[in-house]
Amino acid sequence: MKSMKNPNPNFSAKKTLSRLLKYVFRTYPIHVVIIIICIILSAIGSIAAAVFMSQFIDNVIYAGIQANGSVAGSGYEVVRPTLIKLILELGGIYIVAILASTLYQQLLCSLTQGFLHKIRTDMFSNMEKLPISYFDRNQHGDIMSTYTNDVDAIRQVVSSALPQFIQVMLTVILLFAVMLYYSIWLSLVVILAVLLIFFTTSKIGGGSAKFFIKQQKSVAKTEGFIEEMMNGQKVVKVFCHEEKSKAEFEILNEELNHNSFAANAYANMLVPIIHNIANLLYVLVAIVGVLIVINNVPNLSLRGFGNTESQALTIGIAVTFLGMARQFGNQFNQISQQLNAVVMAMAGASRIFDLMDQKTEVDDGYVTLVNCTIEEDGTIKECDKHTGHWAWKHPHKADGTITYTELKGDIRLFDVDFGYVPEKLVLHDVNIYAKPGQKIAFVGATGAGKTTITNLINRFYDIADGKIRYDGININKIKKADLRKSIGIVLQDTNLFTGTVADNIRYGKLDATMEEIEAASKIANAYDFITRLPDGFNTMLTSNGSQLSQGQRQLISIARAALADAPVMILDEATSSIDTRTELLVSRGMDSLMNGRTVFVIAHRLSTVQNSNAIMVLDHGHIIERGTHEDLIKQKGVYYQLYTGAFELE
């Protein structure tokens, strides 16, 4: 399988960030508004000291000194009301800022977890609707990396980087507004520094973003490879493939190392550069401020507009401006430190949105499966309760009428062509007629198209040409969920899920009682071994039932299909993992399971298909022979040669 492709060749961090923010707003809109208000209050608190510093210097310290010079001992008395007022105002601002900061941190925690819960739910919900072909094309470990690394990258930016980025930007805007209020000349020095910072960030940050995106992809590829090796560890050891596996892993690991190094090298370069530009800004503001003060240059400021007299740059304003310049530089330092997290989050978000934007399985069906009763005259009536009878409910768009067709299990393929890719067909002109209650067997070498036919009946894939009819209805008209509900399936590769044995059998019918589960296990001849397990039907299974033998796992899978009680059954190498003795026991149960059902059997063991109503011999997507066991033996063709051992299926 190939790893996931670049989710968007024309990756745009701006568009991805915009979509991410919209997603956050939709999740907790009220939280977002309150958080932004709290961030604004917190930002005001962070610049309060700088704003009040000039007033402390000019209106308290300097005014006190002047008062002492003119009226002995009266300096403190003169400035005391102003000092108390400033302290109370500053203290009030700080208290509000602390409360706002505490509140927004708590709300942010709630918002982050709620947002992640929502995005994981949406990802998984959309993934469950994807066609089987998506999982054929993409490495499972790569998809898992989207749920882990990419979601974690978003968590960091939503919970930390983005709020801090907003607070920093608000602080920068407020600081710059205050700077303009006090001195436009000194503000021009700040503007030059900001332009230099933006230029540096665009050059270095662009390279960092490119490699952080590559890093996310490399992490996904590496984790996908590790998952494959873990799943296939027995095969690796049996074929002494350890050294080759290590060599292949080293290539992926080296690619990850290179991309991570490049991304962090760019990012780590940016922080000290911005830091030193901030230091340079501080020095320049000090020099320009001193020159303005000692040369008595008229100060141009927003607070001077409307005044006829020019206002001088006071010592208090100069000192305050130095503090604001230092704080201004620190804010850009914080922004540069958060850029890494933001870029990684954008790369992760792009992959997440790619998974969520994948085209879901198309279902244009409108024929549904309903419970029904069948009157003596053959009239079919829909009902809500389970009666043991099912019917296809077929609304006709032309005249608005509804017809009911009894579910019997009559499946027919007419001139079917199919290819997993359009340019290469794997089935050619396939015709099959399976009447209700018949057992149809497929025989042929691996890759002949046996499993593909059953996949088409389930509509895991849609045919390129021809028709498939189920009880006379084109299966394209049947809703996929209803179609699959009517078909039981036992696969060669058994999948058991974390849960009890009973839970795994109940997969075939979620509301099944223990009596029904036990009955199904008896049909599959799984009851005896299950009751010998430590906790019987309550035995917990993990890691795909690794504590069971392959045969036992297959028996549970067969019991699951028996419980589903579908009128059509597909057995894809269902007994391939069971020993000969167990196969005889299972075959008896299977005969009971198959009684009255339409059954499609795929088998390499020809002994399991001899009693079939029809046997199809496939070769490279063509049906080359068909008939009963006796008919095919008389023909002395390919089936005869297979049966007599003249050549093997493979």
Same domain, 345 and 258: yes
532: domain CATH number is 3.40.50.300
Quick one: pLDDT at residue 49? 72
Assigned token pair, 485: 């509900």
At 7, the pLDDT band (50, 70, 90 cuts) reads very low
Same domain, 253 and 389: no
Residue for token digits 């917190």? 42
pTM for this prediction: 0.67
Displacement of CA 224 from its chain's centroid (Å):
15
Per-residue pLDDT, averaged over 397-412, amounts to: 88
Inside any domain, residue 134: yes
Inside any domain, residue 83: yes
Inside any domain, residue 222: yes
Rounded distance between C-alpha atoms, residue 351 and residue 346, angstroms: 9
Mind listing the pLDDT tens digit for each residue in 467-483? Answer: 999 999 999 999 988 99
Same domain, 51 and 198: yes
Inside any domain, residue 246: yes
To which H or E segment does residue 572 belong?
Answer: strand 568-572
What are φ and ψ of residue 569, in 5° steps?
-125, 135
Inside any domain, residue 599: yes
What range defines the domain where residue 376 resides? 368-406
Per-residue pLDDT, averaged over 571-589, amounts to: 67
Percent of the chain exceeding pLDDT 70 equals 83
Question: What is the total count of domains within the chain?
Answer: 3
Checking if the pLDDT of 297 tops 80, the result is no
Per-residue pLDDT, averaged over 270-277, amounts to: 74
Considering 294, 329, 357, which residue would you say is the last residue of a domain?
357
Same domain, 351 and 391: no
Mind listing the pLDDT tens digit for each residue in 471-516? Answer: 999 999 999 889 988 888 887 777 888 889 999 898 878 888 899 8
Quick one: pLDDT at residue 66? 65
Q: Between 319 and 612, whose confidence is greater?
A: 612
- The 10 Å Cβ neighbour count of residue 464 is 13
At 3, the pLDDT band (50, 70, 90 cuts) reads very low
Same domain, 501 and 544: yes
Quick one: pLDDT at residue 5? 43
- Under DSSP, is residue 435 helix (H, G, I), strand (E, B) or coil? coil
Quick one: pLDDT at residue 310? 46
Quick one: pLDDT at residue 590? 66
Checking if the pLDDT of 131 tops 90, the result is no
Per-residue pLDDT, averaged over 295-313, amounts to: 61
Same domain, 597 and 466: yes
- Under DSSP, is residue 482 helix (H, G, I), strand (E, B) or coil? helix
Same domain, 432 and 466: yes
Rounded distance between C-alpha atoms, residue 170 and residue 445, angstroms: 69
Q: How far apart are the first and last CA of the chain?
A: 23
Quick one: pLDDT at residue 412? 93
3-state SS record for 282-308:
HHHHHHHHHHHHHCCCEECCHHHCCCC
Q: Which residues pair with 598 in a beta bridge?
A: 568
Checking if the pLDDT of 171 tops 50, the result is yes
276: domain CATH number is 1.20.1560.10
Same domain, 335 and 438: no
CB 393 within 8 A of CB 364: no
Q: Provide the edge-to-edge strand list for the sheet that holds 614-619.
A: 487-490, 568-572, 598-602, 439-444, 614-619, 622-627
Same domain, 165 and 26: yes
Inside any domain, residue 485: yes
- Mean pLDDT (the chain) is 80
At 329, the pLDDT band (50, 70, 90 cuts) reads confident
CB 300 within 8 A of CB 185: yes
Mind listing the pLDDT tens digit for each residue in 594-616? Answer: 777 898 988 777 777 888 889 99
What are the start-end ranges of the H helices in 386-446? Answer: none
Rounded distance between C-alpha atoms, residue 583 and residue 605, angstroms: 11
Q: Between 315 and 25, whose confidence is greater?
A: 25
Quick one: pLDDT at residue 4? 42
Same domain, 529 and 624: yes
Mind listing the pLDDT tens digit for each residue in 50-88? Answer: 777 767 776 777 666 666 655 445 555 666 777 788 788
Same domain, 437 and 558: yes
Q: Provide the edge-to-edge strand list for the sheet that holds 427-434.
A: 427-434, 411-418, 465-470, 473-474
Lowest mean pLDDT among 50-64, 212-226, 376-390: 50-64
Quick one: pLDDT at residue 414? 94
Rounded distance between C-alpha atoms, residue 544 and residue 103, angstroms: 45
Quick one: pLDDT at residue 418? 92
Same domain, 609 and 638: yes
Per-residue pLDDT, averaged over 379-396, amounts to: 87
To which H or E segment does residue 229 belong?
Answer: helix 184-231
Checking if the pLDDT of 204 tops 70, the result is no
Inside any domain, residue 293: yes
Inside any domain, residue 649: no
Rounded distance between C-alpha atoms, residue 408 and residue 404, angstroms: 12
- The 10 Å Cβ neighbour count of residue 469 is 16
